[in-house]
A and B are shown apart, each in its own frame.
Chain A
Amino acid sequence: MNTLKPKVKPKAPTTLKTNVLEHIARQKRIRLRRHRMIAAAAVAIVVIGLTYSLQFFRLQHIDASFNYADNLVVSHRMMESNSLEITPTENKVQEVTAMSTISVDNPQKDRAFVAKIPNIDTDKQDNEHCETNETDTTKSEPNSVDKLTILAENLPFAQIDSSVMATVIQRQDRIRMSINEQIETTMRANYNAMRRYNNNTVKI
């Protein structure tokens, strides 16, 4: 009798199972490696991002500090320059000499500064002026250094002598120290006032 049922059922080769398991293990390894690479890349991106953001905030902070310090110095200088008196008439010749050395980038500004300078202790200083105002020079020395600082900062860099620059830097340091002292004094005064106020209120 003929039948459609197969007389033999072929058995699966033994390599079938091994091949499947090997393939699965290989796929697992590849997936694991890919996950590790993705994780490493993500960590690297996060670290780089954090570093850059920290650097950015740090720079911002430093910038803000510098701005604050600059503002203090500028305001201090402005206060000092405003308190200066207009140069006497005998110094006119010296002022004109100084003006001739100033840059023409901002002549109005430079002229304004120079107009307030009675004595300039540079190489181009007038000898006659030194002789005539010998006693005044010692008297008004701090003011002249201040003016020198202002003048030097307004001059083009190439025209500033090294000795002048050293004086400028020295004077800047002194200004900073005096600002700090002023701030400290003001804070101490405020603190004392507050303490007195508190003591009074407690007593009441």
Chain B
Amino acid sequence: MAFNDRDIERVIDMWQDSLYSFAFYKTGDEGVAQDIVQEAFIKYYEHSQRKKVANVKSWLYRAVHNACIDHCRWKRSRHTTSLSQSVEVLSVPTDEPYTEFLRIETILQCLPDEQAEVVRMKCTAALRFTEIADILGISVNTVKSRYRYAVGKLRNTFKEIDLEEEDNI
């Protein structure tokens, strides 16, 4: 059966907020997050024309996750200090979501990238271990162990931090 416009509208309505939030807490930029989510939906539509997607949520989160990684790599490779950039730094947004992003990123800085990724997905996007495993392409046990190591490390660093030990399935 062909994937029509009504289907894509339904998918957008269902996942746009959570995907946008996920992309925002990974990139810290609202414009970039919007672009990434748009691209993910377009890719999903084009992919659905050719092949049926079994798990829409996992597919979309994986697309957004990969796009965020690409953006971070691109940003890191183009990281230079110039006058225009210093002006941009001065004009950093001070709204509440960005403050939250900075707070979470500060906490996750002490973790390795793999563990930080799992914690970010678990806490900011409220994904299950199975979904995280599906998105990252690793086993569920690996995801659980990474999360457990990350929680232990964060408890040692920040005594007051509150993390969920158990999976909320």
Which of B72-80, B84-92, B137-145, B157-165 is the contact stretch? Answer: B157-165
- CB contacts (< 8 Å) of A2 on chain B: these are 107, 158, 160-162
A10/B21 in contact, CB under 8 A: yes
- CB contacts (< 8 Å) of B100 on chain A: these are 6-8
Binding site of B, secondary structure by majority: helix, strand, loop or mixed? helix
Chain A interface (Cβ < 8 Å from any Cβ of B)? 1-13, 15-17, 19-21, 23-24, 27
- CB contacts (< 8 Å) of B124 on chain A: these are 4-6
Q: A16-B20, A24-B5 are in contact. List 5 more A-B contacts (CB 8 A).
A: A4-B108, A7-B100, A9-B18, A10-B20, A10-B24
- Kindly list the 4 A-B residue pairs having the minimum CB-CB distance in the complex, ordered from nearest: A12-B20, A4-B123, A12-B16, A10-B97
A6 to B97, CA, bound (A): 8
B5/A21 in contact, CB under 8 A: yes
Looking at the assembled complex, report how far the CB atom of A95 sits from the nearest CB atom of chain B, in whole angstroms: 89
A12 to B34, CA, bound (A): 7
- CB contacts (< 8 Å) of B16 on chain A: these are 12, 16-17
Q: Produce 1/0 per residue, B1-33, CB < 8 A to A.
A: 000010011001100111111001100001001
- CB contacts (< 8 Å) of B132 on chain A: these are none
Looking at the assembled complex, report how far the CB atom of B29 sits from the nearest CB atom of chain A, in whole angstroms: 11
- CB contacts (< 8 Å) of A24 on chain B: these are 5, 8, 42, 45
User: Which of chain B's residues has its CB closest to A31's CB?
Assistant: B49
With known contacts A21-B9, A24-B8, A8–B34 Cβ distance under 8 A: no
- CB contacts (< 8 Å) of A20 on chain B: these are 8, 12, 38, 41-42, 45
User: Which of chain B's residues has its CB closest to A20's CB?
Assistant: B41
B21/A9 in contact, CB under 8 A: yes
With known contacts A4-B119, A20-B38, A23-B38, A9–B17 Cβ distance under 8 A: yes
A-B interface contact total, Cβ < 8 Å? 86
A5/B12 in contact, CB under 8 A: no
A4/B104 in contact, CB under 8 A: yes
B96 within 8 A of A: yes
- CB contacts (< 8 Å) of A17 on chain B: these are 9, 12-13, 16
- CB contacts (< 8 Å) of B38 on chain A: these are 16, 19-20, 23
Tell me which residues from 38 to 58 in chain B have a Cβ below 8 Å from any Cβ of chain A.
38, 41-42, 45-46
- CB contacts (< 8 Å) of A12 on chain B: these are 16-17, 19-20, 34, 37
Pick from B34, B154, B161, B163: contact of A13, CB below 8 A.
B34
Looking at the assembled complex, report how far the CB atom of A98 sits from the nearest CB atom of chain B, in whole angstroms: 85
A11 to B17, CA, bound (A): 5
User: Which of chain B's residues has its CB closest to A9's CB?
Assistant: B21
A5/B30 in contact, CB under 8 A: no
- CB contacts (< 8 Å) of A16 on chain B: these are 12, 16, 20, 34, 37-38
- CB contacts (< 8 Å) of A5 on chain B: these are 123-124
A7 to B95, CA, bound (A): 13
- CB contacts (< 8 Å) of B46 on chain A: these are 27
- CB contacts (< 8 Å) of A15 on chain B: these are 34
- CB contacts (< 8 Å) of B41 on chain A: these are 20
